[in-house]
Chain A
Amino acid sequence: MDIPPSGNALAAASSFVIGDPGRTARELPAGPPVAPAGQADVELTAATVPGMVIRAATVRGLLHRCDGTPGQDAFALAQHAAAGGPRRVVAAVCDGVGALGRSGEAARLVSRCLADLGAAGEPWPDAFARANDEVAALAMEAMAGGTRNANLDGMATTAIAAAVHRISDEWIIAGAWVGDSTLWHLSVDGQWAVLAGLAEEDSPQDDAEAFHSTGVRPLPSADGACTADEFSVCGGAIFMMSDGVANPLRWSSEVRKTLAGWWLQPPDPFSFAAQVGFARRSHIDDRTVIGIWPDSNDDALVSLEGSSEVPGDDG
């Protein structure tokens, strides 16, 4: 078997590698531009909100590259600031269901809708219900105007959204989710702890309870119901991510250790995006991560303590 050496300039994978990158990362060329035209393979954003540094990136998975299809993950960032209250980062991560051809559109719509509604102070259950209505309408329109083939024109997405602020060293998080995108805490000593979003994926669905299975309950759903909860953790950093990163993170101590080393402090945004797309054999799904770190230069601004309306407060 003649496998090109590592460093193949034509390969499209990230130059960051954890363990065996696999043949796909080493050999798969970038391939033609995706259709419809316009969607980038990598999107990244850097932001600062008083007391917090934010990095967000979504990277098209190698399987989509292999198939010549666009990535189906999305993220959105906003901020929420009520009078007299702390400034909050509002963040959403969505993972389009790969079996349905236009799920990327659902992920982009829902992530932006949730971020906008969160920024407006809408409680998360209401925001999810409205996002569900919007994506249900878009899904119907896509099927009616398309091929009526769900594989091509169907759409669905998981979603996790959170409003995050700091009080001194403490992170206060109001989160809500549907499906298997997850919320994590990385402690100052490099330990990862999942806070939200794993229950469905972890439930045994393949009756051996010994085999990996992949079912999730996405949006649109009958009622747009979500799970909402509030979390409080001390120190470290907060991450929201799609399962393209969360799965190898959960399953491999090597990945946990490596990502902790890379992300204990906020990387520059371009390095962050490349790290999100790290190569590891068989993990070729889309990748999306939003990381939120304390801004050590701005700690005076996080001593505010307010009780303003916040997404999730009424949920």
Chain B
Amino acid sequence: MSDEQVPERDGIEEGQLVMPFYLICDVSYSMVGDMTDLNAGLRRLHQAIVMQPVVDDVAQICIMSFSDQAKVLLPLGQMSEAAIPTLSVEGGTDYGSAFRELAQTVERDRAALKANGYKIYRPCVFFLTDGAPNDRSWHQTFTSTLTYDRQTGQGMKSHPIFVPFGFRDAPESVMQQLAYPPERSKWYLARKNNVEDALTGMLDVIMKTVVTSARTARSSQPAVTQQAPAAGSGITQGNSAYDPDWVDED
């Protein structure tokens, strides 16, 4: 290609800008009828990113699942270099396990990228769930693992922007608490009976958010730009009501 090409060293591009996105999907029993749609949506997301080199060069995606436990299915990386995993149904709906695994994964990835000289934008987590948490201490776990108190210096200083997507039985009050930080995140909720449409609409919002954000990842531009749901999608978007002292009275 070049008149004068300087070779890279061992695949490490010091100073490369990276915008990390984490997609963590609920694979609890209640999702048993939705896995085909979910997996098809993930493949569309993959294709949309790969089709746009300017997005693929900056965005790195990690795909995780959670039920009784959470796990990384696709480690953080460039979409054009990755094969999308197929998700399958597992157990219950333990939010706490998702939050703990997320916090560890985000921090581990941040440390690895920084160690190699990459310049990282604040990560964005898309949390996709169809139900209420089974674990009663989910809010406490969320606050202790994925939020940061500037006044006390307690919590996760390198917290991601956490964007919850709920459908079917996911309570609005829970989604409101998970949009973090409050000034930078919004929650999304689908109340359509047709779960296929809900999943399609939500993954469309996620895809547009990734694409739009990665295209603006340069100087003097904001990083993550959350997109509004399509008109008529049946998905609502709302402002965060996160309160570290909130108590679930249900």
Contacts and interface: CB of A to CB of B under 8 A. Distances in A.
Nearest to A97: B220
B86 interface: no
B219 A247 contact: yes
A285 B3 contact: no
A268 interface: no
A16 B218 CA distance: 21
B157 A27 contact: no
Interface in A188-221: 201, 206-216, 218
B9 A282 contact: no
B193 interface: no
Contacts of B16: 20, 280-283
Interface residues of B, number: 45
B7 A19 contact: yes
A99 B222 contact: yes
The prevalent SS among residues of A at the interface is: loop
Interface string B44-66: 00000010011011100000000
B219 A255 contact: no
A251 B119 contact: yes
B218 A208 contact: no
Contacts of A262: 4
Nearest to B214: A282
A23 B13 contact: no
A108 to B, nearest CB: 17
B56 A98 contact: no
Contacts of A282: 13, 16-18, 57-58, 217
B80 A23 contact: yes
Contact of A21 (B1, B157, B159): B1
A151 to B, nearest CB: 11
A223 B6 CA distance: 45
Interface string B114-154: 10010111100000000000000000000000001010000
A252 B121 contact: no
A70 interface: no
Given A26-B1, A251-B117, A254-B9, A283 B110 contact: no
A8 B220 CA distance: 31
A187 interface: no
A253 B122 CA distance: 24
Interface stretch (A59-67, A169-177, A224-232, A288-296): A59-67
Contact of A207 (B14, B15, B150, B216): B150
A214 B120 contact: no
Contact of A6 (B2, B81, B148): B2
A105 interface: no
B119 A212 contact: yes
A282 B223 CA distance: 14
A23 B1 contact: no
A16 B2 contact: yes
B14 A210 contact: no
Given A18-B6, A27-B53, A252-B15, A207 B220 contact: no
Contacts of A265: none
Contact of A98 (B6, B9, B157, B218): B218
A35 interface: no
A138 B158 CA distance: 40
A1 B57 contact: no
A262 B4 CA distance: 10
Interface in B158-201: 158-159
A204 B167 CA distance: 37
A248 B15 contact: yes
Contacts of B1: 6-8, 15, 17, 21, 26, 279
A216 B220 contact: yes
Nearest to A66: B54
Across the A-B interface, give the 7 residue pairs with the lowest CB-CB distance, nearest first.
A251-B15, A6-B1, A23-B53, A252-B15, A19-B8, A282-B17, A22-B57
Interface of A: 1, 3, 6-8, 15-24, 26-28, 61-63, 66-67, 95, 97-99, 158, 180, 201, 206-216, 218, 243-244, 247-248, 250-255, 258, 262, 274, 279-285
10 contacts: A17-B5, A21-B2, A207-B148, A210-B114, A212-B17, A213-B121, A243-B219, A247-B219, A282-B217, A284-B218
Given A99-B220, A250-B15, 15 more contacts: A6-B1, A7-B1, A8-B1, A17-B6, A19-B8, A23-B53, A63-B54, A158-B220, A210-B120, A214-B218, A214-B221, A218-B220, A280-B13, A280-B16, A285-B219
